[in-house]
């Protein structure tokens, strides 16, 4: 009844009657239209009427009509208002594999930290590697993944480990990005971005976000994830001022020019941001503690979890969501999150 009402209100159609499989509705009138069972269609020439489906259960109705000899487009269609419902249903049949990392510090054969290949259609996964893994990137030949305890993993297209690039002490590596034969590794423990040769892992350069680390050897800004392209380097962090260990979260995204000379804030006021991406000219970032995905600084998606991880195909955005890593901080910010911890 909801969809029939909305359809009549919007399109003012000249409907003849309503069809419904429910025997409880046979013989009643709704919206001044008589309700009949589907067998009522036998009283009409198939090409003399046109059927408009106005139920969210449209897949089963389509199947039933086709069994009766009606053809989609010629004899029936779905109400245009149902398009959003179709978009949701289409999500359930996406048959794609997602490469997912986990940094859990428990390592088991089929769970815990590592790399997983997860199929969206079957909801089944294969564990490819066991370790404390974070960021992932790739070029045409290899996948590069961060294992915080081992270094940078280099895997071939079959996800077989071929080599490991070692990292400096206290790196606490998080995000990783590939660009023009170089790997850019975000080292949260050093407040820096380490640049390595992608073929042999040799050191090229290290970009420090500020002078703080050289003075105190602490994770001051808590850099997270990175995106790099022809327009420069984009990095997410918990604190611009470098005071996240004092629970001061003035986080956001900075842009570093390709010549490494210019650093500029592009998005601010974020609460523990992760997963910065530039895709088709738009800036994406997870405002993780608020459970949001932002596009060009504006909220596009919000949930009750901790958002981290973004990827794309031609039609969909894939966002990783996990439980809150800092529940002790939620209660003091419950107005932001819409939840509370007792």
Return the pLDDT at 335.
44
Return the pLDDT at 271.
94
Kindly give the confidence (pLDDT) of every residue in the chain, 342 residues in length, as a single tens digit, with 9 standing for 90 and above. Answer: 678 888 877 777 778 899 999 999 999 998 888 999 999 999 999 889 999 998 888 889 999 999 999 999 999 999 888 887 777 777 777 889 999 999 998 888 889 999 999 998 898 999 999 999 999 999 999 999 999 999 999 999 999 999 999 999 999 999 999 999 999 999 999 999 999 999 999 999 999 999 999 999 999 999 999 999 999 999 999 999 999 999 899 999 999 998 888 889 999 999 999 999 999 999 999 999 999 999 999 999 999 899 999 999 988 899 999 887 777 776 554 444 443 333
- Give the three-class secondary structure for 151: strand
169 secondary structure, DSSP code? T
Which two structure tokens, joined as six digits, stand for 326?
A: 């800092």
Which two structure tokens, joined as six digits, stand for 338?
A: 């819409």
**C-alpha–C-alpha distance, residues 117 and 45, integer Å:** 53
User: Do residues 37 and 26 lie in contact, with contact meaning Cβ atoms separated by under 8 Å?
Assistant: yes
The reply to whether the predicted model has a pTM over 0.95 is no
**C-alpha–C-alpha distance, residues 157 and 102, integer Å:** 20
Closest CA to 110 of 133, 134, 128: 128
């Amino acid at each position: 009844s909801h969809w029939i009402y909305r359809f009549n209100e919007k399109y003012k159609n000249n409907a003849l009657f309503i069809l419904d499989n429910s025997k409880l509705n046979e013989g009643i009138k709704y919206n001044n239209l008589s309700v009949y069972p589907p067998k009522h269609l036998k009283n009409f020439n198939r090409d003399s009427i046109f059927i408009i489906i106005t139920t969210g259960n449209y897949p089963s109705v389509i199947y039933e009509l086709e069994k009766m000899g009606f053809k989609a487009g010629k004899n029936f269609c779905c109400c245009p208002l149902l398009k959003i419902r179709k978009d949701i249903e289409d999500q359930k049949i996406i048959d794609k594999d997602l490469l997912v990392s986990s940094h859990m510090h428990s390592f088991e054969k089929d769970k815990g930290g590592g790399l997983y290949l997860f199929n969206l259609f079957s909801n089944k996964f294969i564990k490819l590697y066991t370790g404390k893994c974070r960021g992932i990137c790739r070029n045409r030949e290899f996948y590069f993944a961060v294992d915080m305890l081992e270094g940078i993993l280099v895997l071939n297209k079959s996800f077989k480990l071929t080599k490991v690039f070692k990292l400096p002490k206290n790196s606490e590596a998080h995000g990783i990005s590939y660009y023009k034969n170089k790997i850019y590794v975000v080292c949260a423990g050093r407040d820096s971005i380490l640049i390595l040769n992608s073929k042999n892992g040799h050191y090229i350069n290290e970009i420090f976000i500020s002078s703080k680390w050289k003075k105190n050897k602490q994770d001051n800004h808590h850099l997270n994830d990175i995106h790099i392209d022809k327009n420069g380097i984009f990095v997410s962090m918990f604190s611009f001022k470098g005071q996240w260990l004092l629970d001061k979260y003035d986080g956001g995204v900075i842009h570093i020019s390709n010549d490494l000379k210019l650093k500029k804030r592009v998005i601010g006021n974020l609460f523990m941001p992760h997963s910065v991406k530039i895709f088709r000219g738009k800036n994406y970032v997870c405002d993780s503690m608020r459970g949001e995905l932002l596009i060009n600084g504006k909220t596009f998606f919000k949930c009750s979890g901790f958002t981290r991880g973004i990827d794309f195909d031609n039609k969909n955005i894939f966002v990783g969501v996990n439980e809150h890593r800092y529940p002790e901080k939620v209660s003091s910010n419950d107005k932001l999150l819409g939840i509370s911890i007792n």
